Amino acid sequence: MTHTEFFFYYSIPIVIVLIALFFTVRKYSKRDSANYSDDFISAAVVLGSLLIFRENEHLVSQKLHWMNAYLRKRFPGAGFDISQIYQDVVEMGVDLVEYTNLANERLTVRKKIHLMEFLVRLGNTNGGINPRESELIFYLLKRLNLHLGDLDAAIRDILIPKKTKSEDSILKMQSYYLKTLGVEGNASLKELKSAYRKLAKIHHPDNHRHASETEKKEHVAKFLEIQKAYEMLTSEMNGQ
């Protein structure tokens, strides 16, 4: 067998295998991308609509336009009608417990972080996030088992402006974390530590090994939340 015959004899099957592998990988990559698009777009449009529906007509129009432009730029091949979904949310409402449970099942941590950053940017399209939007965003962070520290620093600055250090934003943060630990605003470092230890003992994952998967997730989320609250409140005290 000549070198030329040898080359064609063995190279053709290899090329066929490589082509088949290429189209297989492409097929599944497209499928995964479509799933990501469907799940993310659904969560983004529904929660985004819920975030803005109490605004005045001008701001709603402005924010729907921003949402539409953002999602169509990121997912140019996806088909969705933002105006119709917005109307459905306004008319029928959203069960946030069920919807966030669904998001937890379908979205990875990275995608949930992206979702929350999207919502913060959406709220900020008119130059600032109002208290109602802020309350919903913090609620969703907790429901999606996320923390402020998971978000990009620039996004955190939008949610809680550090440059202005306004009294309102500082009190908002403190109130959120104090409520998590179940202590009063004038709590001492000793009281914070005592509250943290008590709650950590109750919700520590090791104490719920035999619980159902849903209960385990709830305790893990609560445990991480009180950890974050304790870290933030004590760091503020130590920084004073």
d(CA 81, CA 153): 32
Q: Under DSSP, is residue 225 helix (H, G, I), strand (E, B) or coil?
A: helix
Q: Say how many C-beta atoms besides its own lie within 10 A of residue 186's C-beta.
A: 7
Tell me which residues of the chain have a pLDDT lower than 50.
3, 6-8, 10, 14-36, 163-165, 240
d(CA 120, CA 129): 8
Contact (CB, 8 A) for 78 and 71? yes
Q: Under DSSP, is residue 212 helix (H, G, I), strand (E, B) or coil?
A: coil
Q: What is the per-residue pLDDT for 114?
A: 93
**pTM (2 decimals)?**
0.55
Q: What is the per-residue pLDDT for 179?
A: 87
